[in-house]
Amino acid sequence: MSKVKLYDTTLRDGAQGEGISYSVMDKVRIAQELDKLGIHYIEGGWPGSNPKDMEFYLKMAKVRLKNSVLVAFGSTRKAHTHANQDQNLKAILKSQAKIVAIFGKTWDLHIKDVLKTTLDENLQMIKDSLSFLASKGLIVFYDAEHFFDAYKANKEYSLKCLLTAQEAGAKAIVLCDTNGGTLTSEISRVIQEIRPKINVGLGIHCHNDAGLAVANSLVAVEAGCDMVQGTINGYGERCGNADLIPLIANLKLKLGIDCISDDKLKELTRASHFVSEISNMRQKDDQPYAGVSSFAHKGGVHINAVMKNPRTYEHIEPSLVGNRRRILVSELAGKTGILIRAKELELDLSKEDPQTKRILKLIQNLEHQGYHFEAAEASFELLMKKALKKYKKFFELEGFRVVVEKRSDKKIASEAIIKLKVKGVKEHTAAEGDGPVNALDNALRKALKDFYPTLSKMHLSDFKVRVLEEKAGTASRVRVLIQSQDETDTWSTIGVSGNIIEASWQALVDSVEYKLLKDRVE
């Protein structure tokens, strides 16, 4: 198969994932990013279900997309009603979308126990809904909900649902593994059985409840599906949907299917991080292809081999998907790791250089104290540049105070007061926060915002604290790891101290300074 259409449902199915809530403008920005990536179909939501989705469609009607087509989502008409009077179908027409995906029941269990209607009425619902929308000039796709469970339970009836949709004017039929529990071998077998009976396009829509969504989608393509549905980063209800990031990469690089161009493929990592940023979700470090750990090497044997021939421990060249190789610096990597990172940072170091030995000893001492630089590359970059005197401070701390107060209304209030010197100017400011670290972060940004406006583009996305000496109880040293994000990148910083606020301050300062450094702020 030479062509496969990509269908993204991040804005509808992905938005149902726990912890995700998109504003209308969030959805517009993600849709525009998907268009840049070259996704063929973008499912924007269910215009009949809520005002936000309808507003999105009406806004998008004024936006010119270069590569993508917007799809509206909805269900078949209600039982024992007329299609032209169904509010859901009328809302779809109002959305101005030219393509619509209608889902319907195919599993007799759902028809009897959820819809509380007959099998014949369900067939009529499919027929009426699709033929009504097709008569209005819309291109209609039919999503066969729970199809694989339905096929196991009642093969003849579930197939009849597909044929009814086809006869009613569906241009594509999408087989949904809605509960996400079907094994890969079953997906392949079922599709091979029904593909000869379907005369229109055939799509696949997998959920990840058994951890098989990407594998099931790939085998579906090999069995004859020419449309793949999924979400960016696998967002979705319960365990999520098929992750389009590894899906696209595997289709293109492993199966040789021309689903997007080579240039668009190089945008894959950036698009993944962009959507996680807008979704306010932590980027998965170990996400295949796009995660920061996807091409990370730590062990000395691995590093040595990769530097001689990357194919020894990498299945593709990272740049193909817009990612990069990372050599993790730790006591396990020795001088080699330091030299490789120095080269990446365009710092002049050699194995015989006394500076190299000095930096290695510094790293070993700091890691002995509890620092963990493989998990905090941004802090390591700052450490290297400071050690080689290739760094200038953006500000100087004169002092800070953090106050935590429990009030009579039982609320805990945190306030930070900070004094800095920035570009020769003294700044003295205060800010409140949800906790002492958040208050300190807010106060630091407040003091710097007029000098460095670019800081408004970053935020903290993760905060971890680990006790390093459990037997010491409350007197233990702690390690604080902070992950930060902006619109294009994710980075991690570290602080270690016997005082959690001091450790947090170290990591906060590194995070801010790294952002300014990478933006080349003067």
Please write the tens of the pLDDT for every residue from 89-106.
Answer: 999 999 999 999 999 999
Domain boundaries, the chain: 5-279, 296-369, 395-451
Question: Packing angle between helix 334-344 and helix 300-308, nearest 10 degrees?
Answer: 50
Quote the pLDDT of residue 460.
84
Q: How many CB atoms lie within 10 A of CB 403?
A: 13
Find the mean pLDDT for residues 281-286. Answer: 86
Give the residues across from 43 on adjacent strands. 71
d(CA 61, CA 54): 11
CA within 13 Å, CB half, 307: 18
**Contact 223/185 with Cβ under 8 angstroms?**
no
Q: Give Cα 419 to chain centroid, integer Å.
A: 37
Q: Thinking of the domain 296-369, which architecture would CATH place it in?
A: Irregular (4.10)
**Starting at the edge strand that comes first in sequence, how are the strands of the sheet with 478-485 ordered?**
459-467, 478-485, 490-497
5-279 CATH pick, 3.30.479.30, 3.20.20.70, 2.40.50.140, 3.40.50.2020 = 3.20.20.70
Tokens of 211: 């951890």
Give the residues across from 205 on adjacent strands. 176, 229
d(CA 117, CA 113): 8
Q: Model confidence at 469, in pLDDT bands (50, 70, 90)?
A: low
**What's the DSSP call for residue 117?**
S
Q: Buried b vs exposed e over 200-232: b needs ≥16 C-beta within 10 Å?
A: bebbbbbbbbbebbbbbbbbbbebbbbbbbbbb
Q: Is the pLDDT of residue 471 over 60?
A: no
Q: Is the pLDDT of residue 18 over 80?
A: yes
395-451 CATH pick, 3.30.160.740, 3.30.750.24, 1.20.120.530, 3.40.50.740 = 3.30.160.740
Beta strands per DSSP E along 236-298: 296-297
**Lowest-pLDDT range of 180-184, 338-342, 376-380, 403-407:** 338-342
Q: What is the dihedral of CA 348, 351, 356, 360, to 10 degrees?
A: 140
Among positive and negative, which fits the CA dihedral 131, 132, 137, 142?
A: negative
Which string of DSSP letters, residue by residue, matches 166-179?
A: HHTT-SEEEEEETT
Nearby residues of 372 by Cβ (< 8 Å), 6 or more positions away: 330, 479, 481, 494
Nearby residues of 453 by Cβ (< 8 Å), 6 or more positions away: none
Q: How many CB atoms lie within 10 A of CB 250?
A: 19
Q: How far is CA 258 from CA 6, 67, 247, 261, 262, in A?
A: 11, 15, 12, 7, 9
Quote the pLDDT of residue 407.
72
**Contact 275/233 with Cβ under 8 angstroms?**
yes
Classify residue 475 as exposed, middle or buried by CB count within 10 Å of its CB (0-12, 13-18, 19+).
exposed
Q: Is the pLDDT of residue 166 over 70?
A: yes
pLDDT averaged over the chain? Answer: 90
- The closest of 261, 251, 239 to 215, measured between CA atoms, is 251
Q: What is the pLDDT of residues 199-214, one digit of tens each?
A: 999 999 999 999 999 9
Tokens of 286: 């170990």
**Contact 486/515 with Cβ under 8 angstroms?**
yes
Quote the pLDDT of residue 2.
64
Among positive and negative, which fits the CA dihedral 191, 197, 203, 206?
A: negative
- The closest of 390, 336, 384, 372 to 482, measured between CA atoms, is 372
Q: Which helix (DSSP H) or strand (DSSP E) does residue 83 occupy?
A: none
Tokens of 218: 């790939």
Find the mean pLDDT for residues 481-496. Answer: 87
Q: Model confidence at 44, in pLDDT bands (50, 70, 90)?
A: very high
Quote the pLDDT of residue 366.
84
The percent of residues above 90 in pLDDT, for the chain, comes to 65
Length of the chain: 522
Q: What is the pLDDT of residues 216-266, one digit of tens each?
A: 999 999 999 999 999 999 999 999 999 999 999 999 999 999 899 999 999
The percent of residues above 70 in pLDDT, for the chain, comes to 95
**Contact 450/242 with Cβ under 8 angstroms?**
no
User: β-strand 412-422 against 396-406: which pairing, if any?
Assistant: antiparallel
Q: How many CB atoms lie within 10 A of CB 116?
A: 8
Nearby residues of 209 by Cβ (< 8 Å), 6 or more positions away: 179, 180, 181, 238, 239
